Amino acid sequence: MSRNKPARIGLSARIFHPEPDAQGIRSKTLQVLEQSVAQWVTVRDVLLLMVPSVVQDGILMRSNIRLRDYAEHLDGLILQGGADVSPRAYGEEPLRPEWAGDPVRDAYEMELLHEFMEAKKPVLGICRGMQLINVALGGSLFQDLPTQCPGAVAHESGEYDRNAHSVAFAENSQLVRWFGGAAGGRVASIHHQAINRLGRDLAMEAHAQDGVVEAIRGTGRGFVFGVQWHPEFHQQAGIELLDCAPILEAFLAAARP
């Protein structure tokens, strides 16, 4: 990619809501990005911009700048990981209070996703981001793999980003082509929810040994792709994980001005 005109990539915000009875910064709404995501993307001469959201019922008012304007002026979108997607977004009630997710973030990211898709700009979803794409396109999720899918491999553990398992690429998938015919690899896994019913115009690109969907691809026009794992954590020392550079390169090729 030319250094004279780097791709301009938007990154959705992780939202931390005010904590009850907190003081100082924890009494405020925080919108942040995870450093590892930013570093994984910007090694490719990319201008990365976190796209802010105005929180529902907040004291800030929307300006004339809309999420549509970000989709118009940026070259692509990455939906980063974080809180659960609310089951209410796919027509279910939370089976436990702690699985209720973040409806405010859901609404913001769904609007952002649809604007970039409408503008025919590429979208890459990571972990929650992949689940959000699926739900936004009419799919559903397992609210909790350990209780709803007994026998599933450990998709999360106390080791956090050092928890890993193998994935297999689907036959004739984009992943097989991007990775030069490779069959799969080991990935960093930090999730307890997963795709149940695939959304419209989506195809499975990879799965875990227990059948859990680990990557999806949009089958319509434009680049829409999601991975359930965390490629931004794959360069840590002492653990052999899949080099996900081909996924990033494909996304940036689609975003190239």
- Which are the catalytic amino acids? 127, 230, 232
What is the 8-class DSSP label of residue 232?
G
SS3 call for 46: strand
How many CB atoms within 10 Å of residue 71?
A: 25
Closest of 31, 40, 39, 36 to residue 13, by C-alpha: 31
**Helix count and strand count (H, E) for the chain:** 7, 13
The stretches of the chain forming alpha helices (DSSP H) are 35-42, 67-73, 103-118, 128-136, 145-148, 174-178, 245-255
Tokens 């994984």 — which residue? Answer: 40
Secondary element (H or E) of residue 238? none
Query: Six-digit token pair at 126?
Result: 């990571």
Q: Are 90 and 83 in contact (CB under 8 A)?
A: no
